[in-house]
Amino acid sequence: MKPLAEGPTGRSPEQASGCGSILGKVPELIPSLTDLHAMPQVQQPHYDAAEAARVVNELRCLPPLVFAGECDDLREHIAQAADGRAFILQGGDCAETFDGVQANQIKAKLRVLLAMSVVLTYAAQVPVVKIGRLAGQYAKPRSKDTETRGDVTLPAYRGDAVNGFAFTAEARRHDPQRLIDMYNASAATLNLVRAFVKGGFADLRQLHAWNASFVKDSHVEDDYERVADEIQRALGFMTACGVDADTMRTVDFYASHEALLLDYEYAMTRIDSRSALPYDTSGHMVWIGERTRQPDGAQVELLSHVHNPLGIKLGPSATAADALAIADRLDPARVPGRITLITRMGAERVRDRLPALVEGVEASGRRVAWVCDPMHGNTFETPKGFKTREYAAVVAELNGFFDVHEQLGTWPGGVHMELTGDDVTECLGGAFQLSEVDLAERYETTCDPRLNRNQSLEMAFMIAERLNAYRAKYAPPEPPEPAPDWYG
């Protein structure tokens, strides 16, 4: 993408904007967008420079989507997961769509995540940190810049934040105005989620009733019904004891997405009034992808300046040296909870590749939260052209992840899932044995296949069994010494 044009006063548009004071008071805390564009960058849209400058300035005048204090709270929770005192459940759509910003779809997605967290909390006997892949996951990296159908070649679909899904030249144009649509869709999603999680929708008893209904289906393993019955007795005991605290009716829920689009993430960066430090207010947690984790790249440079908790995706080619190099760029002070390493090895490679990665990072003394993404390494295409995943392969990678951490005596800190609360037919297998014939019935994703609600709940019970077995053996280390106060 071309650098932004200079404004009429000789200043860049971000400086000339009427909202420039958001960053202008402390420009040394974050590089300019012009400087970022001059650095190596990948997977970025190709915009008209003047049009993009106008949109960036408009975004910078809009309110933050999340607040710095919320990001700090999440960082503290992730620090607990890094110390073996919490477990992270991160999940949601592969790629959100603007049409998907509907109350029923958001409610269904939230309900399946919260229902999963009930099972995992009981099994792990530690808090479950609930993070959605939502309110910002509107862009996706692509392996090819173009798509060809017949004799027609057009730009690839890169998510609703960049272009449209329809295979037309007009829809596939990279349109910066879509960044404003992304902001509005994210704001609407967050508003609804906040209302749900604080308004009684997250009541443990209601969520468990949904789980109990699921496990009574004849397709589901008897062991899962046993776990559900144990949770029911525990809830009944608390009710009999008069426990009716807000903690049973409300939860903390955080939003995350891949920090892919430089213009958007830069425009959403704000200076916290408490600390005078920059935060990316597009989400509580943002992550750097497997394709964009170059230590000298523009995305890493931007995230090295913001104070959100950060994720780093690591594929099977990643070494401990790779992980430490980018972690040192993003977190030289080794702040607890700052870094989450999200591994995506594939079922066939996780036991071969993960041990050296974990051992190397742990030997450095750096404390991170280890999270398994069992989705992205297990994708394939059927003869009829459906991009899908085998539920069994997802389970196999998760089991490999738990096995490696059990062998090394380290804590499996969480899971990162692509899922939906709807009854889609996008991934094969599971208790209801979806086959290739079923894929055409409700294949609704615009990008990668997602677990449906039944597969997601089944996965939660499977993970619960592993956590329940492991926590009896695992002794968390002593809490680390308090880190230096970022605020001085």
Report yes or no: 435 and 387 within 8 Å, Cβ to Cβ: no
- Greatest CA separation for the chain: 71
Q: Which two tokens stand for residue 478?
A: 């002593």
Residue 264: per-residue pLDDT: 98
Kindly report the backbone phi and psi dihedral angles of residue 395, in degrees, each rounded to the nearest multiple of 5, phi listed first: -60, -40
C-alpha 477/C-alpha 480 separation (Å) is 8
For CA atoms 45, 48, 53, 56, give the dihedral sign.
Answer: negative
pTM for this predicted structure: 0.92
Report yes or no: 378 and 390 within 8 Å, Cβ to Cβ: yes
SS3 at position 299: helix
Kindly report the backbone phi and psi dihedral angles of residue 415, in degrees, each rounded to the nearest multiple of 5, phi listed first: -130, 150
Q: Which two tokens stand for residue 92?
A: 């949601």
C-alpha pair distances (Å), 31 with each of 35, 297, 304: 6, 13, 10
C-alpha 71/C-alpha 283 separation (Å) is 8
C-alpha pair distances (Å), 263 with each of 31, 32, 131, 308: 12, 11, 24, 18
Closest CA to 263 of 95, 12, 55: 55
Would you list which residues are annotated within the binding site for phosphoenolpyruvate? 133, 290-291, 313, 344
Helix (H) or strand (E) holding 250: none
SS3 at position 428: strand
Residue 23: per-residue pLDDT: 47
| DSSP 8-state code for residue 214 | H
Q: Which residues pair with 428 in a beta bridge?
A: 390
Place of tokens 């998760």: 398
Residue 130: per-residue pLDDT: 97
- Ranges of each domain in the chain: 48-202+250-473
C-alpha 34/C-alpha 23 separation (Å) is 14
Indicate the angle between helix axes 391-408 and 350-363, nearest 10 degrees. 40
SS3 at position 350: helix
Local confidence pLDDT in tens for the 488 residues of the chain: 333 333 333 334 344 445 644 444 445 789 999 999 999 999 999 999 999 999 999 999 999 999 999 999 999 999 999 999 999 999 999 999 999 999 999 999 999 999 999 999 998 889 999 999 999 999 999 989 999 999 999 999 999 999 999 999 999 999 999 999 999 999 999 999 999 998 888 888 788 888 888 888 767 777 888 888 888 888 888 878 877 666 677 899 999 999 999 999 999 999 999 999 999 999 999 999 998 999 999 999 999 999 999 999 999 999 999 999 999 999 999 999 999 999 999 999 999 999 999 999 999 999 999 999 999 999 999 999 999 999 999 999 999 999 999 999 999 999 999 999 999 999 999 989 999 999 999 999 988 999 999 999 999 999 999 999 998 888 777 766 655 555 44
Residue 248: per-residue pLDDT: 72
Residue 2: per-residue pLDDT: 30
Residue 485: per-residue pLDDT: 57
Would you list which residues are annotated within the binding site for Mn(2+)? 94, 376, 418, 448
In 379-481, where do the E strands start and end?
379-381, 387-389, 414-418
Fold category of 48-202+250-473 in CATH: TIM Barrel (3.20.20)
Residue 242: per-residue pLDDT: 76
C-alpha 280/C-alpha 23 separation (Å) is 12
Q: Cα torsion at 35, 41, 44, 46 (round to 10°)? A: 60
SS3 at position 307: coil
Report yes or no: 26 and 19 within 8 Å, Cβ to Cβ: no
Q: Which two tokens stand for residue 242?
A: 């008069």
> b/e per residue, 55-77, with b = 16+ CB within 10 A?
bbbbbbeeebbbbbebbbbbbeb
Would you list which residues are annotated within the binding site? 94, 133, 290-291, 313, 344, 376, 418, 448
